[in-house]
């Protein structure tokens, strides 16, 4: 994280990334100064991540601000960090329902 802009960034090498409708990316930020997780996380379907993070280089790039008032392309995927496990369970349940149908 850069202090001046409150930006965080995650890079995933394109060669090691295989998007799939049942795969998700969870981005979380740990604040070492305060020894705590940031209150917001980002839970992103891997197919959406591949589309939104694509660039011209060898990496998929996730860059966002920790300022909750800022709106950007990752905002729809922002969840409270305390609900990350519930979001994951809901995604697993939805996948199981689709497969059973």
Residue 29 lies in a domain: yes
Q: Vertex 96, ends 94 and 101: CA angle to 5°?
A: 95
- pTM: predicted TM-score of the whole model, two decimal places: 0.85
Residue 16 lies in a domain: yes
Q: What integer pLDDT is reported at residue 6 of this predicted model?
A: 87
pLDDT category at 48 given cuts 50, 70, 90 is very high
- How do residues 7-31 score in pLDDT, each as one tens digit? 999 999 999 999 999 999 999 999 9
Q: Vertex 86, ends 11 and 84: CA angle to 5°?
A: 30
- How do residues 68-81 score in pLDDT, each as one tens digit? 888 999 999 999 99
Higher pLDDT, 67 or 3: 67
Range of the domain at 41: 7-100
Residue 55 lies in a domain: yes
Domain count, the chain: 1
Q: Could you tell me the two tokens for 84?
A: 């990350």
Residue 1 lies in a domain: no
Among residues 89, 31, 76, which one has the least CA distance to residue 49?
Answer: 76
> What is d(CA 29, CA 31) in angstroms, rounded to the nearest whole number?
6
Residue 2 lies in a domain: no
Residue 71 lies in a domain: yes
CB 46 within 8 A of CB 25: yes
């Amino acid at each position: 994280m850069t202090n001046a802009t409150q930006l965080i960034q995650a890079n995933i090498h394109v060669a090691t990334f295989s998007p799939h409708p049942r795969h998700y990316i969870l981005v979380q930020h740990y604040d070492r100064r305060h020894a705590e997780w940031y209150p917001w996380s980002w839970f992103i379907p891997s197919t959406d991540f591949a589309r939104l993070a694509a660039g011209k280089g060898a990496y998929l790039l996730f860059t966002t601000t920790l300022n909750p008032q800022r709106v950007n392309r990752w905002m729809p995927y922002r969840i409270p960090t305390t609900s990350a496990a519930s979001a994951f369970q809901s995604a697993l349940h939805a996948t199981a329902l689709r497969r059973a149908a």
